[in-house]
């Protein structure tokens, strides 16, 4: 599909007076080549519904529209709306802009019950809260078909971490027990305007199969307890979860081990035994 000629993003920002707000965690991406690479991470988006959270002036939004997606973009900052309306006009019927706080919206309802890909470059605190929410809940597969999200590099490494590493923890287990999570692309801080203090990376997650007989709530409870005291042996850190220490023994998992040595599968087995 041919893309309309659009003014450079920097010009749009200057025209609409969109100085980056620190309070809203605004660090914008302008490099169209980089943005096209990010939009390509979920695979072919032609005619697919995409939820973009935090489009800002619309750099990633443009790339998603160029890739043929049908985009619903949720932006909290009303200053960005005129720039986004210009994009709505440039791609008629392909972009819907909603002003609001993504943390307060029901995304499945917003997307009309259709499976959707999520792409987002969010402030890190909002990104982590949404990520945990998208990965949670008993219903699986989720309404989303993939999550492609920018994080602080250190957080991205924690999400994709393997057991036995210092990055491995609660986020890794929650991201990997019924989904595949990988660190898809590192993004240098200099790619952003203004540049943040730390490096960033994009995580790509796709849902996998739900292990049978496991409650997500129980798995969350176990990881919270186990990694809440990650230096302690499991028999100590899991004391507060009724039945957990006995279940370790039943499963042949040494209770002297620490949380960070348990594989995602072992956490799942433990949660199943307690569900």
Q: Using the rule CB under 6 A, is 54 a contact of ligand SAM?
A: yes
Locate tokens 């819907």: which residue?
Answer: 96
- The mark string for 77-96 relative to ligand SAM (x by CB under 6 A, - otherwise) is x--x----------------
- Please tell me the distance from the alpha carbon of residue 30 to that of residue 210, in angstroms, as a whole number: 38
Find the binder of ligand SAM among 12, 39, 45, 56 (CB under 6 A): 56
Find the binder of ligand SAM among 12, 13, 50, 55 (CB under 6 A): 55
Q: Using the rule CB under 6 A, is 53 a contact of ligand SAM?
A: yes
Q: Using the rule CB under 6 A, is 47 a contact of ligand SAM?
A: no
Q: What is the DSSP letter of 196?
A: P
- The mark string for 116-155 relative to ligand SAM (x by CB under 6 A, - otherwise) is -----xxx--x-----------------------------
Give the H/E segment covering residue 245: helix 244-250
- Please tell me the distance from the alpha carbon of residue 71 to that of residue 65, in angstroms, as a whole number: 7
How many Cα atoms within 13 Å fall on the side-chain side of residue 31?
A: 12
Report, in Å, the least distance between residue 110 CB and ligand SAM: 12
Q: Using the rule CB under 6 A, is 172 a contact of ligand SAM?
A: no
Q: Using the rule CB under 6 A, is 27 a contact of ligand SAM?
A: yes
Stretch binding ligand SAM (CB under 6 A), from 74-82, 153-161, 209-217, 227-235: 74-82
Residue 39, burial from CB neighbour count under 10 angstroms (0-12, 13-18, 19+): buried
Stretch binding ligand SAM (CB under 6 A), from 52-60, 85-93, 225-233, 262-270: 52-60
Residues facing residue 166 across a β-bridge? none
Evaluate the CA torsion angle 139, 144, 146, 147 in order and state its sign: negative
Longest dimension (CA), the chain: 66
Nearest of 192, 114, 180, 209 to residue 153 by alpha carbon: 192
Q: Using the rule CB under 6 A, is 103 a contact of ligand SAM?
A: yes
Find the binder of ligand SAM among 13, 45, 50, 60 (CB under 6 A): 60
Give the H/E segment covering residue 98: strand 95-99
Q: Which residue is nearest to ligand SAM (CB)?
A: 54
Q: Using the rule CB under 6 A, is 76 a contact of ligand SAM?
A: yes
| List of residues 6+ apart from 230 with CB closer than 8 A | 169, 237, 258, 259, 260
Cβ contact 249:255 at 8 Å? yes
- Please tell me the distance from the alpha carbon of residue 221 to that of residue 174, in angstroms, as a whole number: 11
Report, in Å, the least distance between residue 243 CB and ligand SAM: 38
- Please tell me the distance from the alpha carbon of residue 215 to that of residue 80, in angstroms, as a whole number: 40
- Please tell me the distance from the alpha carbon of residue 42 to that of residue 153, in angstroms, as a whole number: 19
Report, in Å, the least distance between residue 25 CB and ligand SAM: 5
Q: Using the rule CB under 6 A, is 253 a contact of ligand SAM?
A: no
Q: Using the rule CB under 6 A, is 259 a contact of ligand SAM?
A: no
Find the binder of ligand SAM among 75, 200, 248, 268 (CB under 6 A): 75
Stretch binding ligand SAM (CB under 6 A), from 55-63, 87-95, 211-219, 235-243: 55-63
Q: Which residues bind ligand SAM (CB under 6 A)?
A: 24-29, 53-56, 59-60, 74-77, 80, 101-103, 121-123, 126
């Amino acid at each position: 599909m041919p893309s309309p000629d659009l003014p450079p993003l920097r010009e749009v920002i200057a025209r609409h007076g969109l100085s980056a707000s620190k309070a809203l965690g605004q660090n914008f991406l302008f490099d169209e080549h980089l943005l096209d690479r990010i939009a390509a991470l979920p695979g072919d988006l032609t005619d697919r519904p995409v939820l973009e959270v935090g489009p800002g002036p619309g750099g990633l939004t443009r790339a998603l529209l160029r890739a043929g997606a049908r985009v619903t973009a949720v932006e909290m900052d009303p200053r960005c709306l005129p720039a986004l309306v210009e994009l709505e006009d440039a791609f008629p019927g392909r972009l819907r802009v909603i002003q609001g706080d993504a943390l307060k919206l029901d995304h499945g309802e917003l997307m009309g019950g259709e499976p959707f890909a999520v792409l987002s470059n969010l402030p890190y605190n909002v990104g982590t809260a949404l990520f945990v929410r998208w990965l949670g809940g008993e219903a699986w597969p989720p309404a989303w078909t993939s999550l492609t999200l920018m994080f602080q590099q250190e957080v991205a490494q924690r999400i994709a971490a393997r057991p036995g590493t210092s990055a491995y923890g609660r986020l890794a287990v929650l991201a990997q027990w019924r989904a595949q999570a990988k660190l898809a692309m590192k993004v240098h801080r200099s790619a952003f305007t203004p540049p943040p203090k730390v490096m960033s990376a994009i995580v790509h997650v796709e849902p996998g199969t739900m292990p049978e007989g496991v409650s997500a709530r129980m798995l969350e409870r176990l990881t919270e307890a186990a990694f809440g005291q990650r230096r302690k042996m499991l028999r100590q850190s899991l004391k507060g979860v009724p039945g957990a220490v006995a279940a370790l023994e039943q499963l042949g998992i040494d209770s002297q081990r620490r949380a960070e040595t348990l594989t995602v599968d072992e956490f799942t087995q433990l949660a199943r035994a307690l569900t």
